[in-house]
Amino acid sequence: MPWWYRDTPSLRGLRMGGPYLSSNRGHTLRQVFALTQGYMGETSHLTEAELSDLIAFLHTL
Ligand code: HEM
């Protein structure tokens, strides 16, 4: 089933770990960003520090 048929999942509890995505191909949040680049938000322009901040934020949910 293509990703656009899926309900957007809750991001609560992400710190419990992967694998993420319905394909289970996201073993880390950085892999999720790389695999979904372009259709699920845009993170390619973020600096290393900003990516770390984003992951730290997602871990608080
Ligand atoms: C930079 C912004 C975004 C971040 C950081 C983000 C983060 C995530 C993460 C971490 C997951 C995996 C959750 C899990 O497996 O439990 C996810 C899945 C998903 N997100 Fe996002 N997301 C973003 C933007 C978006 C946008 C804009 C949409 C809709 C237009 C969206 C729709 C989805 C969908 C449908 C999934 C499920 C995909 C699948 O399981 O194959 N996300 N997101």
Could you read off the pLDDT of 2-59 as tens digits, one per residue?
Answer: 666 778 899 999 999 999 998 899 999 999 999 998 888 899 999 999 999 999 999 9
Protein residue with its CA nearest to atom 19 in ligand 1? 8
Protein residue with its CA nearest to atom 21 in ligand 1? 40
Question: 4: burial class by Cβ within 10 Å (0-12, 13-18, 19+)?
Answer: exposed
Tell me, what's the pLDDT at 38? 81
Could you read off the pLDDT of 2-11 as tens digits, one per residue?
Answer: 666 778 899 9
CA dist., res. 9 & res. 61, Å (int): 13
| Distant-in-sequence, close-in-space partners of 38: CB < 8 Å, separation ≥ 6 | none
CA dist., res. 31 & res. 25, Å (int): 8
